[in-house]
């Protein structure tokens, strides 16, 4: 939140007219019940009362950015804002993918399955979400397109096949010899309450020690809820088009995994000595 405010203050101080906020589909959900969304869009109605910190911070920031659209700048122009809601981002340098890679290496090159195979989502390649920011920034300078864009939010997706989070990890690395566990460590309901128990233990230990569970109820719900969206409105309003096709995105990410996997193996081996 402080970073967002600093950036916006810089816009007003330096007469920067255009501001694109990187938001997240987590602004929408999933909710605690795990109600699914399939091929949702900007008009989809969804009941969500949970207050997960990351999602709430994104929601508040996105609303604030939208409210500042049209505010006057010192040079007499006005601020133009919009928000891009991104799904899970994969690609070279992904800290999440790196963490799962470490776990798989420690598990004999087998990814631990945290999400059901049928919990389909549509992740996006890092190059495509970056390209979307450039495309909308250019469109915001167009006198006609800016009328449709300003103050709005957009879902941004690409042609990555819909699959679960765990299956994405496997798909990106299977040609390098990695595998994946066939099912969750335990039935989903039991998995949820197990993660709740870990949260309770973490809370009780807080006065004495810092214990951060590897999983929590939010994560279990997030990765096991079918949650996918369409970028039709972005294509219509500002001509969004993914720069990278799935096969190229997969190849680039797999090449990165091939480079870092031996380094991670060596690091993890030395760490246990």
Tokens representing 61 are 């920031």
What is the arrangement of strands in the sheet containing 80-86, beginning at the earlier edge strand?
18-24, 80-86, 153-155
Q: Do residues 154 and 86 make contact, with C-beta atoms less than 8 angstroms apart?
A: no
User: What's the whole-number mean pLDDT along residues 133-160?
Assistant: 95
* Catalytic position from the list 54, 125, 154, 170: 54
Does residue 54 have an active-site annotation? yes
Q: Which domain holds residue 258?
A: 2-272
User: Is-contact 127 249, C-beta < 8 A?
Assistant: yes
**pTM for this entry:** 0.91
Angle of CA points 131, 6, 152, to nearest 5°: 45
The candidate with the shortest Cα–Cα distance to 25, out of 165, 203, 181, 184, is 165
What would the DSSP string read from start to end of 111-140?
EPP-S-TT--B--EEHHHHHHHHHHHHHHT
State the pLDDT confidence band at 12, using cuts at 50, 70 and 90: confident
The DSSP line for 73-122 is PTTS-B-EEEEEEE--EESTT-HHHHHHHHHHHHTTSEEPP-S-TT--B-
Given a contact cutoff of 8 angstroms between Cβ atoms, the answer to whether 19 and 65 are in contact is yes
The reported pLDDT for the residue numbered 2 is 61
- Residue 4: predicted pLDDT: 64
pLDDT(3) > 70: no
Per-residue pLDDT tens over the stretch 233-263:
999 999 999 999 999 999 999 999 999 999 9
When the pLDDT of each residue in the chain is averaged and rounded to a whole number, the result is 92
In the structure encoding, which two tokens stand for residue 161, read together?
Answer: 């096949």
Q: How far apart are CA 109 and CA 264, in angstroms?
A: 12
Kindly report the number of other CB atoms within 10 A of residue 259's CB atom: 10
Rounded alpha-carbon distances, angstroms, from residue 208 to 104, 194, 202, 205, 214? 31, 22, 10, 5, 19
CATH number of residue 176's parent domain? 3.40.50.720
159-194 tens-digit pLDDT: 999 999 999 999 999 999 999 999 999 999 999 999
Is the confidence at residue 74, as pLDDT, over 80? Answer: yes
Total domains in the chain come to 1
């Amino acid at each position: 939140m402080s970073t967002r405010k600093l950036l916006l203050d810089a816009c007003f101080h330096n007469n920067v007219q255009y501001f694109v906020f990187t938001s997240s589909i987590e602004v929408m959900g999933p909710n605690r019940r795990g109600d699914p969304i399939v091929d949702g869009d900007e008009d989809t109605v969804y009941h969500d009362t949970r207050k997960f910190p990351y999602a709430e911070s994104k929601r508040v920031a996105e609303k604030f950015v939208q409210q500042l659209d049209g505010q006057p700048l010192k040079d007499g122009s006005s601020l133009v804002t919009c928000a891009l809601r991104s799904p899970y981002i994969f690609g070279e340098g992904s800290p999440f993918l790196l963490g799962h890679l470490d776990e798989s290496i420690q598990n004999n090159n087998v990814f631990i399955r945290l999400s059901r195979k049928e919990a389909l989502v549509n992740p996006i390649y890092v190059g495509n979400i970056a390209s979307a920011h450039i495309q909308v920034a250019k469109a915001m300078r167009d006198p006609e397109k800016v009328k449709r864009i300003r103050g709005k939010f957009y879902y941004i997706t690409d042609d990555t096949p819909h699959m679960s989070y765990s299956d994405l990890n496997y798909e990106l690395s299977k040609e390098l010899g990695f595998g994946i566990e066939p099912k969750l460590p335990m039935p989903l309901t039991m998995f949820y309450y197990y993660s709740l128990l870990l949260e309770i233990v973490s809370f009780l230990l807080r006065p004495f020690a810092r214990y951060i569970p590897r999983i929590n109820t939010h994560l279990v719900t997030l990765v096991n809820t079918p949650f996918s969206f369409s970028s039709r409105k972005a294509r219509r309003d500002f001509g969004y088009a993914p720069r990278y096709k799935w096969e190229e995105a997969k190849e680039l990410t797999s090449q990165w995994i091939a480079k870092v996997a031996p380094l991670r193996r060596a690091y993890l081996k030395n760490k246990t000595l």
